[in-house]
Amino acid sequence: MYRQITLPRPLARHALMAAGLGALLGLAACSSPTPARYYTLQRPAGSAPVDAAVRTTGAVPAQASAAPAPAAVSGNARFALQVLPVRVPPAIDLPQVLVRSSEGEVVPLENARWLGPLADEIRAAVVTQLGRTLGVPEVSAVSVPAGLPVYRVQLDVTRFDTVRGQYAMQDVAWSVREMVPAGQATNGSPAVVLCQSRQVESVSDESTPALIQAHQQSLARLSAQIAATLARPPAEWRCPA
CA distances (Å), 156 to each of 25, 99, 102, 194, in order?
A: 50, 20, 26, 11
Residue 179 lies in a domain: yes
- Give the bridge partners for 241, in sequence order: none
Domain span holding position 191: 37-236
pLDDT of residue 204: 86
CA 159 – CA 176 distance, rounded (Å): 20
Number of structural domains (the chain) is 1
Q: Is 117's pLDDT higher than 60?
A: yes
Give me the CATH number covering residue 60: 3.40.50.10610
Q: What is the pTM of this model?
A: 0.76
Q: Is 217 helix (H, G, I), strand (E, B) or coil?
A: helix
**3 domain residue, yes or no:** no
Per-residue pLDDT, 80: 93
CB proximity list for 176: less than 8 A, separation 6 or greater: 151, 152, 153, 192, 193, 226, 229, 230, 237
Instruction: Name which residue leads in pLDDT, 233 or 144.
Output: 233
132 vs 185, more confident: 132
Residue 204 in any domain: the answer is: yes
pLDDT at residue 59, as a whole number: 30
Q: How far apart are CA 43 and CA 212, in angstroms?
A: 10
* Assigned domain for 1 exists: no
Q: Is 24 in a helix, a strand, or coil? A: helix
Average pLDDT along the chain: 80
Is the pLDDT at 3 greater than 60? The verdict is no
Residue range 61-112, pLDDT digits in tens: 223 333 333 334 445 678 999 999 999 999 999 999 999 987 789 999 999 9
pLDDT digit string, tens, across residues 172-222: 999 999 997 755 656 678 899 999 999 999 998 999 999 999 999 999 999
Amino acid at 166: Q
Q: Which among 205, 197, 204 is positioned nearest to 160, based on CA atoms? A: 197
